[in-house]
Amino acid sequence: MSLISLLLMVGCSAEPKSAGSQGSTPSAPAASQLRSTTQRFIAVSHRFEIETSADDLPTAWETTAKFCAAPRCEILASVIRNKTQTSAPYGSLSLRIVPDDLPKLADHLAKSGTVAQHITQSEDKTATVIDVEAAIKNQTAFRDRLRAMLTRSAAAKDLIEIERELARVQENLDSLATKRRVLANETEKVAVNVDFRVIESFVTTGSSSRIAAAWHESGSVLSSSIAYLITFVFAVAPWLIIIVPTLWLIVRLLRRLFRRKGKAVTQT
């Protein structure tokens, strides 16, 4: 029997476990019933928007970051922006935490400031997890069969083809294992995103604030205008040395020409 036939037999023996052939995989209603009674894998995410004063925002961000400690919590991304003349301070944290510690984190955020918004979302990953685990099981069985064939085969050509197929299957297994770890991280821990913002005061958005801002900007506008004027003067000054004498000579020549024409007219 050729190696190609052997590989086809191995592949066909592994396929029914994932493709749903008769005798090895339950029918569609049976599979649906199995999934309804199995463990559910739910990816849950929360989004908090915390409002604090400008002075308290850095402290609220720092204490929340310290609250998240490995291995029960991990920070995926963090941003902190200090207060400037043109922008208010801002901070954000993106983290994953075990479900048991989520209420403690929520209490900590409530003490750090005002919870202006809290959004919860969930996504059922059960079907994806079951499919990935089934694929891992099938590919693992296929790999084991290839390894058994590798020990029995003696021809060099067969060995090369089996090793090539074995490398491909192992690559698929590594990819599936990575996907399963990602799914486990998404379903076993809760994704939490926290935005820290400064409380907006009614005074800062009133007419007095706009007048104050206009007053502060007036100095900048005046200085910019003076700067443009100085730049214009220094840009035009070198040309005035040439233009002014030239215009003066032209005016004198025109006057002389008009005088001569006037004398000629009176003489006639």
Cα distance between residue 61 and residue 109, in whole Å:
9
Cα distance between residue 80 and residue 69, in whole Å:
19
pLDDT score, position 11: 54
Q: Which amino acid is at 199?
A: I
Give the model's confidence band at 23: pLDDT under 50 very low, under 70 low, under 90 confident, else very high: very low
Give the model's confidence band at 19: pLDDT under 50 very low, under 70 low, under 90 confident, else very high: very low
The DSSP bridge partners found for residue 75 are 95
Q: What is the mean pLDDT of residues 131-148?
A: 94
Cα distance between residue 196 and residue 233, in whole Å:
50
Task: Give the HSE-up count for residue 261: Cα atoms under 13 Å, Cβ half-sphere.
Answer: 6
Question: What are the extents of the domains in the chain?
Answer: 38-200, 206-259
Cα distance between residue 79 and residue 103, in whole Å:
23
Task: Pull the structure tokens for residue 141.
Answer: 């069985």
Give the model's confidence band at 261: pLDDT under 50 very low, under 70 low, under 90 confident, else very high: confident
C-alpha distances in Å from residue 198, one per residue of 87, 119, 225: 10, 19, 35
Cα distance between residue 244 and residue 140, in whole Å:
94
DSSP state of 201: P
- What's the farthest any 2 CA atoms get from each other in the chain? 134
Give the model's confidence band at 213: pLDDT under 50 very low, under 70 low, under 90 confident, else very high: low
C-alpha distances in Å from residue 132, one per residue of 28, 31, 128, 184: 18, 15, 6, 11
Q: Which one has a higher pLDDT value, 79 or 236? A: 79
The fraction of the chain above a pLDDT of 70, given in percent, is: 79
Q: What is the mean pLDDT of residues 234-244?
A: 82
Which residue blocks in the chain are alpha helix, DSSP H? 3-14, 16-19, 28-37, 57-67, 102-112, 126-152, 156-188, 207-267
Place of tokens 């007053």: 215
Residue 29 clears pLDDT 50, i.e. is over it: no
Q: Could you report the per-residue pLDDT of 154-172, keeping only the tens digit for each? A: 688 888 888 999 999 999 9
Task: Pull the structure tokens for residue 66.
Answer: 């310290």
